[in-house]
Amino acid sequence: MGKFLILKMFVLGLYGEISPDLKFNLQGIGGKTYNESIFAQKNRKIIFFISPHCRISRKFYEYISDLTKTHKSTFNRFYLISPNYIQALLPDDLAYTDLQMSIEGMETLSKRYGFEVPFIFDGNQEITKALDIKTTPSVVFLNEENKIIYKGKIGEITPKGSVETTYFDQIINGNYPSKTVITKVRGTEIKTAGDMPATSRILQRYANETVKLVYADKEKIEFFMKFHNRKAALFFLWQLEDRNCRENLLKVTEIYKIYRKRGLSLITICISGDEENILENLKQAQSSAYNFKSDFYQTNQLYSLSDTDGPITPMLVVVDKKGKHQFKLKGDIEIQELRTRVLRLLN
């Protein structure tokens, strides 16, 4: 998960402005592209910087959706910007979302919350750096002359989890401060290309995690189902003969590494094949979870939760932290569906 930052609050001596030399050509949702001409228009520009994976940003999505509808006019132009360098994100940075960090994920987010304004991907931080944005969620308000009236937080999150946006609402409604105001922002640090060395080191550490394989009988499997560390758990049953054996292992391992810091466990159980080949496949998938070799007859309790139609593997059984069965999936793993259901369980 990204770092939480606090930016100092201060007032500039006069209105700041965006550089007239700024040039860019960026992709947005719906197949649209945007360039510096958006700043040539004589209207107010309200630019929200949000990260699909940022849990603080998520608190403001409904407010942003409502605001852009109630203040929709030729006088106001709203823009949403997703500003992260995707390759610099770690798996656990994504632990509070089921969205892909891509244009497709932005499309999904836009549909979920009914955004009706341009949503731009700024992965190399061309606009983001020009406006010196380091954290999401942030907002920049520019007047018709591209003077920066306000930059900073959208609002506060109350102890009850709602949002308080009175100060920014006043600015939207025309109550401008006499000078540019910059307020402190609490949120998630924007990842840039400069973060890649640190990200690479951490990913290499993940790749070097120990992968083990041990035998599990019926009693051990039942114990893990009921009491395993009081965590939500994925039980993935597979065989070397499965058509997409390695791909499915990679998918469940990816899900595990995204959500494990939130209390998700992974138990893989291979019910056929020799240990050497099983272990090799687990190593290639970097499955540093609990990996068991067993047989069909030792896994009856898991199979009793499934129907008997079709192939017996691959199969995924998911239990909550109390050991209660939540859902099962048979056949090849569909990663988006699994992420959505796991996130719902953890939340």
Domain with residues 209-346, CATH architecture: 3-Layer(aba) Sandwich (3.40)
Domain ranges of the chain: 10-195, 209-346
Q: Kindly state the greatest CA–CA separation across the chain.
A: 76
Whether 10-195 and 209-346 share one fold: the answer is: yes
Residue 15 has a pLDDT of: 59
From the list 6, 201, 4, the residue with the least C-alpha distance to 88 is 201
In this structure, what DSSP letter does residue 241 have? Answer: T
Report CA Rg, the chain. 24
What pLDDT, in 10s, does the model give residues 139-185? 999 999 999 999 999 999 999 889 999 999 999 998 888 888 999 99
Helices (H), the chain: 55-59, 61-70, 103-113, 126-130, 166-172, 196-207, 218-227, 245-259, 275-284, 300-303, 335-346
Share of the chain above pLDDT 90, in %: 71
Is residue 133 within 8 A of residue 140, CB to CB? The reply is yes
Looking at the chain, how many residues does it have? 347
Q: How many CB atoms lie within 10 A of CB 222?
A: 17
Residue 19 has a pLDDT of: 74
Whether 266 shows a pLDDT value over 70: the answer reads yes
Instruction: Answer whether CATH 3.40.50.2000 is correct for domain 10-195.
Output: no
Whether 13 shows a pLDDT value over 70: the answer reads no
What pLDDT, in 10s, does the model give residues 186-203? 999 999 999 999 999 999
What pLDDT, in 10s, does the model give residues 201-242? 999 999 999 999 999 898 888 888 777 667 899 999 999 998
pLDDT band at 8 (very low <50, low <70, confident <90, very high): very low
- Average the pLDDT over 40-52 and give the result: 94
pLDDT band at 73 (very low <50, low <70, confident <90, very high): confident
Is residue 254 within 8 A of residue 100, CB to CB? The reply is no
pLDDT band at 2 (very low <50, low <70, confident <90, very high): very low
